[in-house]
Amino acid sequence: MNIIFITLIVLAGMGLSFEAGLLGPLGEEVGHLWATLSIFGVGTALLWLIRFFTPNGKFTDWNSIPKWQLVGGLLGPIYVVVLTLATPLLGVAMTMICVLLGQITKSFAIDYFGWFGVKSRRRIRYDLSHWS
């Protein structure tokens, strides 16, 4: 089962490169903020459609959610704006290398220190036998 998730994550990563390749030219044509807004608008519409056809999802009262968890909603648009600005200057490959460097560095810190409710993994040991 884990191999399916690993495959999906790799494909999602490829999707980020594809998105960066689309956002750069779109941002130069319509403006960086409008490009970001269009991407989020299409994504929001898609999520509403998915939600409409899968109504069995869990809905939680917004007031019961810790406010710090909603910060992720701010990070997405910032990420997309930065992609839109950086990709025409650096190219897709260099932009993604920088994204990966940031993701890997922060991921190790989150795992090591146990930030954001993640279990601390001070001794990171990955058992590859679970990946089959």
pLDDT score, position 132: 53
Per-residue confidence of the chain (132 residues) as pLDDT tens digits?
Answer: 688 888 888 888 888 888 888 888 888 899 988 988 998 899 999 988 988 888 776 666 778 888 877 787 888 888 888 988 999 999 999 999 999 999 999 988 888 888 888 888 776 566 566 555
Tokens (6 digits) for 86: 């950086």
Number of folded domains that form the chain = 1
In contact, 23 and 83? CB cutoff 8 Å? yes
Name the one residue in this structure whose structure tokens are 């997405």: 76
> Using CA atoms, how far apart are residues 26 and 20, in angstroms rounded to an integer?
10
**Residue 103 lies in domain:** 2-131
Residue 97: closest CA among 111, 112, 85, 86: 86
Q: Give pTM, 2 decimals.
A: 0.70
